[in-house]
Amino acid sequence: MRTLAWFLLLVSGGAAAASPAFDVHVHLREGEASLRAYQADVEAAGIELAGVGAMWFGGPHQARQGELEKIRAGNDGVIALAAKHPLVLPIATVHPYDEAAAMEELARVAAAGVRVLKLHAHTQGFDVSDPRVEALVRKAGELGVIVLMDNANILPGDSEKLFNLVVRVPGTTFVLAHIGGMNFRFWNILALARTADGFAMDNLYFDISGPVLLAADSPIEAEFVWTLRNVGIDRVLLGSDYPQMGLGAMADALERLDLSDEEKDKIRVGNARRLFGR
């Protein structure tokens, strides 16, 4: 039956039939020019955009400790881009080790309407278990800002540190990008953790950019789908990590997973609209 369903999907136009999509993870390193290139890439894939979670840094463009003017300018750039393009959800950043200056910038961008803060421990060079990180993400929660953090599980223990951070700061909503990479299996522990009294961890979401490409039509697909259901389909978001990877490839891989149409729709667009109020 699944083979027949996939054949019919191909005949009807492939992943394009599954649009619209909300891409929660896009790097627009060159502002307007990057947005135009991204939009062309999505249009070529036949996808209608419902929203774009856009950040200005990533790759060669980083936000490192002490680069306060650069960070502020980058944040202002993505805020201006969002003001011009309603589909753009601006994602700002700071460096946790800048302490008071980071807190000040976080408050400034929140006042300007930013609802998402992106932090990347390995490219920005900080330790997730550092108290300064906890203080920053706690402040984000107080300001109503969602924290998007990298969870490609580059080094052993990365997912465990993030788990502990989410537990310690229940007042902040977290989105963990890449759902642990090829260590996605770790997050099945949520199915057991949530059986403990007062341990719902309902402040935790994931985007599946990256691993979904490897999982679709692979020997690990059933386990990946099992993981998505264990963390909660209502907690899973679609992202591309553009320009490293494209939304077309991610949406296509999602369509090939052995999920129901209702589950796919939640991941593709419904969950993001609910989470970001868009």
Residue 58 banded pLDDT, cuts 50, 70, 90: confident
* Domain residue extents for the chain: 2-9+23-273
pLDDT in tens, 188-222: 999 999 999 988 899 999 999 999 999 999 999 99
H and E: helices and strands count for the chain:
13, 8
Tell me the average pLDDT across 71-85. Answer: 98
pLDDT in tens, 255-271: 999 999 999 999 999 99
- Cα dihedral 206/209/214/215 (nearest 10): 40
The answer on pLDDT for 4 being more than 90 is: no
Of 147, 145, 47, nearest to 87 by C-alpha is 47
pLDDT computed for residue 19 by the predictor? 66
Tell me the average pLDDT across 230-254. Answer: 98
How many whole angstroms separate alpha carbon 259 and alpha carbon 255? 8
The answer on pLDDT for 13 being more than 60 is: no
According to the CATH classification, is domain 2-9+23-273 in 3.20.20.140? yes
The answer on pLDDT for 10 being more than 60 is: no
Of 47, 92, 9, 43, nearest to 238 by C-alpha is 47
